[in-house]
Amino acid sequence: MRLIVNIALSALMLVAAACGNKNAAVTETTVTQPKMTELPVPQVPDSLTDPADRAAYAVVHFWDAMDFADPAMAADSALVEQSFSNFIALLPYAPDADRRNAVAVLLDRASEASADAYSLLMSTAEHYLWAPESPFFSEELYLPFVDYIIARGGDDAATGEYRRDVIMKNRPGSPAPDFSATGRDGAKVRLSDHGRLTPTLLMFYEPDCDRCHEAIDILAADTALADAVADGRLRFVAVYVGDNVGEWRTHAAGLPEWWRVAIDSDMTIDSRALYDIRATPSFYLLDPDDKILLKDAPLQQIMNIRF
């Protein structure tokens, strides 16, 4: 708004100066608009009062200001990425059907404009929502993009089918596959062996993984998490899916006493593909009946939960 006011004042000053001196030379002044860094959030009509309806309108019309036919604008990766991060922040608030519609509308517009615009959007979605190391990682939000790829057909359809299979595996609401592993004391640790009174935080990790070390340090220092385990409000199970028993024993000895630590040295979890573990550490949150609540959740999401 300030920019518009300043431009208007400048224009008025030029008109006043010209009127004051009829012999003054008329000079053209070009006002350079600042480069757009993100798309404006759509103005939702006041007639929409239900929060879900307002969110649905916002996501469906989010990209209205984007001119995919403008090569410079459509190729502006900084603009696309910032706008995309704002877009996916709104998506969870809209009903599933409206999320899918919003993604379809976006990708239709981009693909109709140019192959490059479509490619940039799809690579941005992959980077933000599909890469496990992304702080925005979300298979559920990525699913409409995958379904669009499959419906579109072509060379990318096989990739879309594979990724859809991965997303549907261990999906929240499905039963957590049971397994047994060997604990620090040599006894068997079975996932289902508990009183069904508390949720379970399951971490798959590796002793020689830098990201695992960082996560372990954060979790070990979390007194609230330790209290939840001590009070019986949570069970924490850390499993190494690997067969380097010596390395595991050395590393496991330094892990907190209140963790249930185990090794799947027979590689049963991996060979039977019981869990989708695309990168370690991988966190699963299970309800007291061992139904999956969170799949392959980022550490930050786990740390924000108060058990």
pLDDT in tens, the chain (307 residues): 323 333 232 332 222 333 334 344 444 444 445 678 999 999 999 999 999 999 999 999 999 999 999 999 999 999 999 999 999 999 999 999 999 999 999 999 999 999 999 999 999 999 999 998 898 999 999 999 999 999 999 999 999 999 999 999 999 999 999 999 999 999 999 999 887 778 999 999 999 999 999 999 999 999 999 999 999 999 999 999 999 999 999 999 999 999 999 999 999 999 999 999 989 999 999 999 999 999 998 898 899 998 8
CA-nearest of 216, 231, 239 to 302 is 216
* Burial of 55 per CB tally in 10 Å (0-12, 13-18, 19+): buried
Domain boundaries, the chain: 51-168, 180-303
What per-residue confidence (pLDDT) applies to 2? 29
Burial 173-199 (b: 16+ CB within 10 A, else e): eeebbebbbbbbeeeebebeeeeeebb
**Cross-strand bridge partners of residue 263:** 182, 240
- In the sheet with 188-190, reading across from the earlier edge strand, the strands are 188-190, 180-183, 260-263, 235-240, 200-205, 282-286, 292-297
**Cross-strand bridge partners of residue 291:** 175
For the stretch 62-89, pLDDT in tens is 999 999 999 999 999 999 999 999 999 9
CA-nearest of 277, 275, 287, 281 to 173 is 287
Q: Which ranges of 39-176 would DSSP assign to H, the alpha helix?
A: 51-60, 71-74, 77-90, 96-113, 115-125, 139-152, 157-168
The amino acid at residue 284 is Y
How far is the C-alpha of 291 from the C-alpha of 301, rounded, in Å? 18
CATH of the domain spanning 180-303 = 3.40.30.10
How far is the C-alpha of 84 from the C-alpha of 66, rounded, in Å? 11
For the chain, the distance separating the N- and C-terminal CA atoms, rounded to the nearest angstrom, is 45
> Which two structure tokens, joined as six digits, stand for 249?
């024993």
* Burial of 293 per CB tally in 10 Å (0-12, 13-18, 19+): middle
Q: Could you identify the residue written with the tokens 């049971």?
A: 178
